Structures are given as C-alpha cells and as structure tokens.
Structure 1
Amino acid sequence: MTAATVSNFTPTNMDRLQRCVIETAKCEWLPSPSKGVWRKPLEREAAEHGQVTSIVRYEPGTFFSAHTHTQGEEIFVLSGIFEDENGSYPAGTYLRNPPGSSHTPGSSVGCELWVKLNMFDMHDQEKVVLNTHEASWLPGLVDGLTVMPLHNFTSEATSAMTAEHTALVRWQKGTHFSPHRHMGGEEIFVLEGTFEDEFGQYPTGTWIRSPHESKHQPFSDEGCLILVKVGHLARLAD
C-alpha cells in the first residue's frame, strides 16, 4: 500500500450508533500489504492500524509478517487451517490473543477467517483457543436454540447489563425468539443457513451490527448457525 493510498484513506463503517448489514459474499477481495493475503473490510478505523473487523483469506503457503496486537485480536476460522508459531487451528476454531500479544500468522493449505483487531478492554487478558467442533452445546432460552459460550468479560466499569459475551448460537428450523433490546449492542456473523428478523433476511456470510439499545425480533425459518457478540458496542461507541 502506497503512502498516497494511506493518506487518502477514509474510515469505513466506524459509527457504532448506526446499524450496518453487509453480505460479504458480494464484497470484493482487497489486497493486504502481504502478498497472498486478501481482505474484505467490514469496519475499519485506519489504513493499516486501529480497530478493524474483516474477512481475511490466506492463499496456500502464505504467511503474514510478525506483528503485535496492541489491543487484542479475535479470530474465527471459517475454512481451511490457520497457523502461527503456537499451533494449527482448523475451521471452527475460535481464538483470542490478548492486548500486547504477538505472532507470525499464515496458512500452509490456505484459509478464510473472521477477524477483529484492537477492540479489547485492556483489562481483558484472557487467551482463548477453542475448537468448537469439540466443545459442548447448552440449551438456549427458547426451544430450538442451543448456545456455545466462547468468551465472557465484565470489567469494574461495566454493568452486568452491558457485560461482553461471545457465543455460537444454533437455530433449528422454524425457531422464533421474543423481541429484545441489545444493551451494549449486538454483532452477528452468519456461519450457516439464513438468519432473519423483521428487517430482513441474512444469508450465510452476512455481517450485522446493531447499536446499543437497538431492538428486534429474530427468527430462522430455514435454520442457521451464527457467531454472536453482545455488550461491546457501547464501550466502542464512546
């Protein structure tokens, strides 16, 4: 990326008070500074630093240069096998690298990832490596829902109403949830099937960001699997 490109950069979808919906399957892959690593930015604060949510693709045999996660890194492996000097992470792996951590990531066989950078509370120092294909599902709040908790965090400055939670949620066909409000906001990435609410239908690969205190009534006629984050957007919108 050239200096001119960096100087002309415009932040993307950084107003966390606004609802945002992106069907990533329709987005163009953009090159990164490392050859063979491609990205679809969903929200992005700056050209090559700051807060970012994106879909990332590593071509086979591609490795990114060593770097430090100033305010943490969160990853879900969508396909293939992701790697770094600490291990190999197949599709379905959830990773959290805390603030101040560093690594040299890549993939021998290729992979696609959902990635969030530099959005952790600085007190959130938990490292997580979880193969979700080997973890247990818990009953949801309504029939037809099952939940797999991935990470929870509450700081001294955060109320229980806006504590941060990340989970997988599986919806069986025809499951409907009651209307509810997102205290602290909600972010969803649709991994399988079609997620729905009164505002629309969201097929596999859709990213949805709903702001603090937004409200909806979700359901899935087809059935779906979603990656969900709640409670973090109030902090990031400050």
Structure 2
Amino acid sequence: MRINADFSCRAALTPANHQWVQSPQSGVERVMLDRVGEEKARATSLVRYAPNSYFPHHMHPGGEEILVLSGTFSADDTHYPAGWYLRNPPNSGHKPYSDEGAVIFVKLRQMTSDESNHVAIDTQDRTNWQRQGNRDVCPLFSNGTEQVSLLRIDAGELLFTDLVSGGAELLVLAGELLDEGQVYQRDGWIRLPTDTYAQTKAGPKGATIYLKVGHLSQVVGSEIDNT
C-alpha cells in the first residue's frame, strides 16, 4: 500500500477530506495520511479509539511517535490525557488502549536505529513552553536529523521565513493555517518536501501546530518498503 508515498512531493489533507477506515482491531479506526507498506508499514496516521478499545501487546521495530489529540490514551497501565507527546524507541513494545476513547496522531517506523530513550512530555504543562523570538515553543525532540516541537504563532505570521531544508510536516492543533489558498483547521495536515519555499501562515486567530522538520532528507529519493 502506498499513500502519499513520494516524499519529494508536497502532500496535504484537510479535515473535510478525512476518510476513517477500520483497523484490524475492533473499535480502532484511522485516517491514513501517508503510508508505505501494509500493516507493517512506515506510516503517519490519525487513530481513533472507541471507548474500551485496545490493541494486543505488540512491538515497534522502527519506533513509534504519538501526540494525544483528545480523550485519554493508555498503554501498560499508564494514562496520557490530551496534550501528551510520546516517543517509543525502536524495538520497544506496549499494549495500547483507551477506556474513555481517544484520538491520537501516530508516526510509525520513522526513527533512526540509534534512538533508545522513551520520551513522555505533557504539553499542557506551561513549564514545558518557552518564548523564542515572537512565538511560544514547546520543544519535544531533537537530534542530528530532526527537530519536533509545538508552536503558537500569531495571526498572519509566516511559519517559515527561509528555505525548508530537510522537509517539514505539520498538524494543526488549534486555529487555522493558510497554505496555497487552502485553509487548514484543527487536524489539518501538510507535508512539505526538502528544499521548499513555503508561504504557510497563521489565520486571523493565530494557530497552534505540531511541527517536525529535517526528517525527510533521509527518505527523499529512496525506496521504502516495510511489508
């Protein structure tokens, strides 16, 4: 299966075009944003857990990155309400579930093999935010390849002021983003290829976004197959 699988091209999806499809596990649905492979895939998705739904314990050979968007997501008897950011490194495993229901943003098999630390950050905790220039930033992860953060940008502010080197991926968490004449509201998703100039800017009420940059330099022009 290949969905938005050419990483040298721009890809985007507005909430109006989300197509929720059933996963192999009852009560768990997903919107496939990009994907290379079948069930064992390099994948970026929105995943929706119905109340009292779960996945059996399983491993993540290529790691897993999660941002909890609503409800409470749980794994191995630890509970993560909306706003928690998680990184489970390659070759880790867990049993994920939700008692009340949850929606999460998930990236699978997109970590380098040397990543070994678990990360859990509550982005609702104000102490995890800092002022950088004219925007508020919640740093989430950084290494030599990628940088991940949450950003709050003011109305009309450009997200990027220079060439997007290494590519970028963003998910709107609140407010609106404007890009190439399209409005992206909450849960809107955009992926920009490496070495792109983008005029992405916040709408009239500003925007809060998840932003990952730098990570696409390692996949552009390569054939990824995790089937």
Offset from partner CA, 1:182-213 (integer Å, 9 cap, x none) = 11100000011101245533222111000010
Q: What is the alpha-carbon distance in structure 2 between the residues aligned to residue 177 and residue 13 of structure 1?
A: 23
Paired residue for 1:189, among 171, 175, 180?
A: 171
| Contact residue 119 and residue 236 of structure 1 kept, 8 A | no
1:151 aligns with 2:158: no
Q: Does 1:65 align with 2:56?
A: yes
Taking structure 2 as the reference length, what is the TM-score of the superposition? 0.91
Which residue does 2:33 correspond to in 1?
A: 42
**2:225 corresponding residue in structure 1:** none
Task: Output the CA distance in 2 between the equivalents of 1:125 and 1:43.
Answer: 25
Instruction: Encode CA deviations 1:12-41: one digit per residue, 9 max, x unaligned.
Output: 111100000101343121001110000110
Alignment coverage as a number of residue pairs: 219
Partner of 1:79: 70
Higher RCO, 1 vs 2 (CA within 8 Å, ≥6 residues apart): 2
Map 1:1-238; keep pairs closer than 5 Å. 10-134=1-125, 135-141=127-133, 143=134, 145-154=135-144, 163-176=145-158, 179-220=161-202, 221-237=204-220, 238=222
Q: Which moved more, 1:181-190 or 1:127-136?
A: 127-136
SS at match of 2:67: strand
Instruction: Show structure 1 runs of 5+ residues with no match.
Output: 1-9, 155-162
Report runs of 4+ in structure 1 exceeding 6 Å deviation: none
Distance in 1, Cα, partners of 2:34 & 2:166: 18
Give the conservation status (yes or no) of the 8 Å contact 2:15–2:185. Answer: no
* Residues 121-162 of structure 1: CA deviation (Å, up to 9, x unaligned): 111222101111114322234x2x2111000011xxxxxxxx
Rounded to whole Å, the distance in 2 between the matches of 1:41 and 1:178 is: 26
Determine if contact 1:25/1:205 at 8 Å carries over to the other structure: no
User: 1 CA distance for matches of 2:28 and 2:180?
Assistant: 37
Q: Secondary structure at the match of 1:181?
A: coil
Distance (whole Å) between structure 2 residues aligned to residue 86 and residue 170 of structure 1: 32
Provide the secondary structure at the position in 2 that maps to 1:182: coil
**CA-atom RMSD, angstroms?**
1.5
The answer to whether the Cα contact below 8 Å between 1:189 and 1:208 also exists between their aligned partners in 2 is yes
User: SS where residue 175 of structure 1 aligns?
Assistant: coil
CA distance in 2: counterparts of 1:112 and 1:130, whole angstroms? 17
Distance of aligned partners of 1:194 and 1:17 in 2 relative to their CA distance in 1, 3 Å threshold: same
Closer/same/farther in 2, CA of residues 180 and 226 from structure 1, 3 Å limit: same
